[in-house]
Amino acid sequence: MPQTPSSLLRQIPQVGAMLSTSTGKAMAEDYSPGLLAEVLGQVLAELREGLQAGLGSVPAEEELFAQCQKRLQAMFALSKPALINASGVLLHTNLGRAPLAKLAARAAYEAGINYTPLEYDLAAGNRGDRQMQVEQLAARLLACDSALVVNNNAAAVLLMLTAIAKEKEVVVSRGELVEIGGSFRVPEVMIQSGCTLREVGATNKTRAADYQQTIGENTAALLKVHTSNYKVIGFTQAVEIPELVQVAHQAGLPLLADLGSGALLPLSQYGLPDEPGPKEALAQGADIVCFSGDKLLGGPQAGILAGDKALIDRMKKHPLMRALRPDKMTLAALEASLMLYQDPQLARQQIPLYQMLGTSIDVLHQRAMALKDSLSSYAQFSFEVVPSQAQLGGGSAPGETIPSIALSIKSDIISVQTLAAKLRLGEMPVVARIQQDAVLLDLRCVMEDQLTKLTQTVKDALDTEGV
């Protein structure tokens, strides 16, 4: 006679009884009795619902424990902390911009797992300054009086304008009303900081006289914004920092410069146009410069303000500073990254961004050939080593490309979208580029120690096609 549902329901074990079995006790030690009881409760409740709906039967206890194990493992699985960037975009904002130098990552790790003298003066044994070290280092590297670190460059611009120009006017060229990645727009940041934007010139042309005519009683500063992610070409004119400094200083005003990336090394040796450097801008007379920590500096997300001590002190003391200040791990990673720049050669060797920019085409070609050779057994795919164009990204050097090499993968049995998705969902995710009917693995931003894992992910993705 078939069992009635109610007799089936009575076969469902009790949570308490399962917890006191040897398997239950062992699992409770790995997780905790409370968490195990909660997950067991869920599994049993779902089983009960299924049985009431006439589905399935009561599995053995081991099977129920196995289901719990799976759920607990999923609860404790870290989200993917790393991936391989085969997109060819070096400072990909969606992929976390610049990877840190190992020294910087180690510094962040040590700061993270330990107490640190974050706001403690070890010599005096009392309260110290959170940023003193990193500020002194930045000021030395940039040959200026003072520096300050905040959460990112958007925060730096907000703090700078609020502390210096609240309820006053700031003059900016119409050609420089930049939007960075959707939510950061110069005019909107100005509104947030409580100052009034005075636009001058036209989109394509602004002259020194345009600034001069607009400066009035209520003007607090002139602002220069690096047009980091677009280019105005053709009939154009802009006032560069040296001339703008003269205009500002004649009127007794400070010149503020949002440099965006703030490269500390020249890019020309990598075949790219040089970005405005903070040291150069300060030497040309800019009173305050600000720039990102995780663009061309190759450090952690941060905003660095540098220049005149009196102005920096105003920002330091501003109540907003408390909301914008960086944490101990960021400060440790930034300090370590800046330390490397004391020797440009060291920075080029140790900072991944410059390692990747500096890898020769020959080396990239060899790596692509090795990858291709290791895939030769996948006969249903065709592989070709092709020239490619990488980009800096992250709002740096717009429109400029960097020569690179890619492995192109084509197939008749699987769409490029499907293959790209399989690569993204690999054990070590790989973000590739789709170009027409091929998936391109651009090797410019694949780090040398990632090549084995790249090969493995590609093999796994091709394997799941049943070839």
Ligand X SMILES: *Cc1c(COP(=O)(O)O)cnc(C)c1O
**Site of interaction with ligand X (CB under 6 A):** 152-154, 157, 178, 180, 184, 225-226, 228, 258, 260, 292, 303, 395
Give me the least distance between CB of 227 and ligand X, in Å please: 7
- Residue 85: φ, ψ to 5°: -95, 95
Specify the 3-state DSSP secondary structure of 431. Answer: strand
Question: Is the Cβ of residue 254 or residue 394 nearer to ligand X in the bound state?
Answer: 394
Give me the least distance between CB of 424 and ligand X, in Å please: 24
Give the integer Cα–Cα distance in Å for 75 and 42.
14
Cβ atoms of 438 and 409 closer than 8 Å: yes
Cβ atoms of 248 and 222 closer than 8 Å: yes
Question: Is the Cβ of residue 185 or residue 372 nearer to ligand X in the bound state?
Answer: 185
Question: Is the Cβ of residue 10 or residue 231 nearer to ligand X in the bound state?
Answer: 231
- For residue 123, how many other CB atoms are within 10 A of its CB? 7
Question: Is the Cβ of residue 91 or residue 458 nearer to ligand X in the bound state?
Answer: 91
Give the integer Cα–Cα distance in Å for 51 and 11.
11
Give me the least distance between CB of 108 and ligand X, in Å please: 17
Give the integer Cα–Cα distance in Å for 445 and 66.
41
Query: In the 8-state DSSP scheme, what is residue 444?
Result: T
- For residue 397, how many other CB atoms are within 10 A of its CB? 25
Question: Is the Cβ of residue 87 or residue 152 nearer to ligand X in the bound state?
Answer: 152
Give the integer Cα–Cα distance in Å for 125 and 291.
34
The residue at minimum Cβ distance from ligand X is 260
381-390 sheet: strands from edge to edge: 381-390, 402-411, 438-442, 433-435
Question: Is the Cβ of residue 23 or residue 227 nearer to ligand X in the bound state?
Answer: 227
Question: Is the Cβ of residue 201 or residue 300 nearer to ligand X in the bound state?
Answer: 300
Cβ atoms of 190 and 164 closer than 8 Å: no
Give me the least distance between CB of 189 and ligand X, in Å please: 8
- For residue 370, how many other CB atoms are within 10 A of its CB? 13
Give me the least distance between CB of 186 and ligand X, in Å please: 8
Give me the least distance between CB of 184 and ligand X, in Å please: 5
Give me the least distance between CB of 92 and ligand X, in Å please: 13
Question: Is the Cβ of residue 32 or residue 192 nearer to ligand X in the bound state?
Answer: 192
Radius of gyration of the chain (CA): 29
Q: Quick one: 386 exposed, middle or buried, by C-beta within 10 A (0-12, 13-18, 19+)?
A: middle
**Bridge partners for 382 per DSSP:** 410
Give me the least distance between CB of 332 and ligand X, in Å please: 18
